[in-house]
């Protein structure tokens, strides 16, 4: 005796509808492969290229609380904006973000990162200078490396001072693909 998909979905929808979930997540398809997208009441909390939910549940619980539940309804606004972005119909995201638990330096770097325009690139050093720590390019690199909301927070637009792509959580080919989508390369 198993729980039917319909019953399962009704419970998940009701849980989100009643606002009983700390963080909801689902796996969405995209041209750069499946993405695990998570959102709390505060906003988008995580986007991951690693989509095996079991590996992500504990991480999401640490970010937002133990009431983690898979639900398409919980991430519907994020899915819609991501779809528009990947179809070339959206150049900036209007989604609120959940940056709870991040260090103040990290938050200030990510806020600055969010201002890097669609289709343009910047460097780790330039970002570091913009947050008032011109010698902290390495630290900025670490923030990019750990960016838990890639794509929406466009760390793919940050490259080395020589213009080299340097690195990306989703792989360099994905970074390249995103920049091409935006017409940056």
Partner 1 sequence: MMQAVAIPPFERFYEEHRTEVLRLLRKRLGAERAEDAFQETFLRALRAYGRLHHAEHLRAWVLTIAHNVALDTLRRTRPTDELVEAQSTDHRPAYAELADLTDGLAPKERAAVVLRYGYDLSYEQIASALGSSPDAARQATSTGVRRIRRRIAS
Among positions 71-110, residues that touch partner 1 (CB under 8 A) are: none
Q: How far apart are CA 151 and CA 55, in angstroms?
A: 20
**What minimum distance in Å lies between the beta carbon of 48 and partner 1?**
15
- Interface residue with partner 1 among 30, 51, 61, 76 (CB under 8 A) is 61
Among positions 18-47, residues that touch partner 1 (CB under 8 A) are: 18, 20-22
Rg from Cα positions in the chain? 17
- The answer to the question of residue 60 lying near partner 1 (CB under 8 A) is yes
Strand partners of residue 28: 35
- At residue 141's C-alpha, the angle toward residues 45 and 122, to 5°, is 95
Known active-site residue 155: yes
- Interface residue with partner 1 among 34, 50, 55, 58 (CB under 8 A) is 58
Catalytic residue among 155, 169, 179, 181: 155
Range 102-141 burial, b when 16+ CB lie within 10 A, else e: beeebbbbbebbeebeeeebbbbbbbbbbbeeeebbebbb
**What minimum distance in Å lies between the beta carbon of 20 and partner 1?**
4
Rounded to whole angstroms, the maximal C-alpha distance in the chain is 61
Q: How far apart are CA 25 and CA 46, in angstroms?
A: 9
Name which of 54 and 89 has its Cβ closer to partner 1: 54
- The answer to the question of residue 70 lying near partner 1 (CB under 8 A) is yes
Site residues, partner 1 (CB under 8 A): 1-3, 7-8, 10-11, 14-15, 18, 20-22, 53-54, 57-58, 60-62, 65-70
Active site residues: 155
């Amino acid at each position: 005796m198993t729980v039917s998909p319909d019953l399962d979905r009704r419970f998940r929808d009701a849980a989100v509808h009643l606002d009983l979930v700390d963080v909801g997540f689902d796996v969405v398809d995209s041209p750069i492969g499946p993405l695990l997208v998570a959102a709390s009441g505060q906003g988008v909390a995580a986007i991951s290229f690693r989509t095996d939910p079991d590996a992500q549940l504990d991480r999401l619980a640490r970010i937002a609380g133990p009431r983690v539940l898979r639900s398409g309804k919980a991430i519907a606004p994020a899915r819609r904006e991501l779809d528009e972005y990947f179809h070339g119909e959206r150049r900036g995201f209007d989604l609120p973000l959940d940056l709870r638990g991040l260090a103040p330096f990290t938050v200030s770097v990510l806020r600055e990162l969010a201002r890097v325009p669609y289709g343009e690139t910047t460097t780790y050093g330039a970002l570091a200078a913009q947050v008032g720590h011109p010698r902290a390019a390495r630290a900025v690199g670490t923030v990019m490396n750990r960016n838990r909301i890639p794509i929406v927070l466009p760390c793919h637009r940050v490259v080395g001072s020589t213009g080299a792509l340097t690195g990306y959580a989703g792989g360099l080919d994905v970074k390249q693909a995103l920049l091409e989508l935006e017409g940056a390369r």
